Amino acid sequence: MLQVFVLASCSSFSSTEKVPEEATNNKALTQGGSKNNAAQTFTLRELAVATKNFRPECMLGEGGFGRVYKGCLEKTGQIVAVKQLDRNGLQGNREFLVEVLMLSLLHHQNLVNLIGYCADGEQRLLVYEYMHLGSLEDHLLDLPPGRAPLGWFTRMKIALHAAKGVEYLHDKANPPVIYRDLKSSNILLDKDFNAKLSDFGLAKLGPVGDKSYVSTRVMGTYGYCAPEYQRTGQLTVKSDVYSFGVVFLELITGRRVIDTTRKRDEQNLVTWAEPIFKEPTRFSELADPLLPDVIPKKSFNQAVAVAAMCLQQDASVRPSISDVVTALSYLWVGPDTTVLASHIASPSYFPQLIRSPAYHQNTIADTEQEKQVVDDLEWVFNDLQRNLTFAAITATANDN
């Protein structure tokens, strides 16, 4: 039986409501270059009309947070996604407030746009821009019959966009924001497979001053959380880098991070991949067998090396997310890209890129461009392998 909703005006937050610390430093966040565009407030009636009274056929998905419906705003005709938070679910009022305040202050092409919200009695609803293709999880893991698997360069494009979203949070927001819930189901895709990060209920303001971490209760999704964060509750931007490494490994392999249907030694994706990382001749074992196209060998090897660096157990050995963006800019060379990346950093983990002639050429013939990319990837791959070897030797020495 269709649930009947009380259609009442959306009330404002109670004056006694405590705003979480993560979202109180509004002035500092806006210094990161984002526009402080306040989210709209909607009545429950407006959102009920938009979603045809939350009919099952309008539902896009359901998770621990609640249900998401496709809707059309009556006043503007805009197609939106309406997330109705489960009053008894995992995402409580605290996370609702964090999400509203964070996404009202942070704006980037690789972050999902929050249009507005409704807080009416015990009802909590969030209204986002509609992402036509749903989540990365929908197109990568457990594909339904008839859905074509993602091609290699599409996967690299999605990884690059996700990394750029995290880079904005880490390097542009002031103080930095730690996403804390990076996973394939939180990466949404538009009709052209452009990716945006969503679901900021667990986001946390990063360390400031001379602090290197923030202490907090362990939150997130099992398998994606960095090991040091799970052990100590100490959260850093490198915790997000680890989570990105997990998602990137999912993109490479087409496997879930935790899959109890597989053989015992393959159920944990990272644990299964770690010994393969140390033997470049085995890298091909990581390739998703469903990949529809021929994978460029050097591009694939470089991708595996980047994933391995992000998944280092020692957080200090992991690259910064800006270095990851630089490396991925060279991995995705599609029909609408050039060798010269739009993002040029001064990477500490990828020094060979700085010496690449591609940094100093705006136009290169297609054949020359392809050859140059191959050379760049070879340099980067060799440098990453040296870092991996050094990290392995250091870890062994420490163990002894």
Which residues are part of a known binding site for ATP?
83
Q: Helix crossing, 297-310 with 237-253: angle to 10°?
A: 150
Check if the beta carbon of residue 345 is closer than 8 Å to that of residue 169.
no
The set of residues, in sequence order, having a beta carbon less than 8 Å from that of 362 and lying 6+ positions away, is 340
Pairing of strands 79-85, 123-129: antiparallel
Task: Tell me which H or E stretch contains 80.
Answer: strand 79-85
Contact 106, 168 (CB under 8 A): yes
Instruction: Return the structure tokens found at 131.
Output: 């992402």
Q: Could you confirm whether 181 is annotated as catalytic?
A: yes
Identify the active-site residue in 86, 138, 142, 181.
181
How far apart (Å, rounded) are the C-alpha atoms in residues 377 and 385? 12
* Dihedral angle over CA of 373, 377, 378, 380, nearest 10: 140
Cα torsion 378, 383, 384, 388 to 10°: value is: 130
Report which of 229, 250, 388, 392 is spatially closest to residue 319, judged by C-alpha positions.
388
Distances (CA, A) of 106 to 83, 98, 112, 159: 19, 12, 10, 20
Dihedral sign, CA of 97, 87, 233, 274? negative
Q: Measuring CA to CA, how many Å separate 331 from each of 88, 278, 290, 296, 311?
A: 43, 21, 20, 10, 18
Residues ≥6 apart with Cβ < 8 Å to 87? 122, 123, 124
- Catalytic site positions: 181
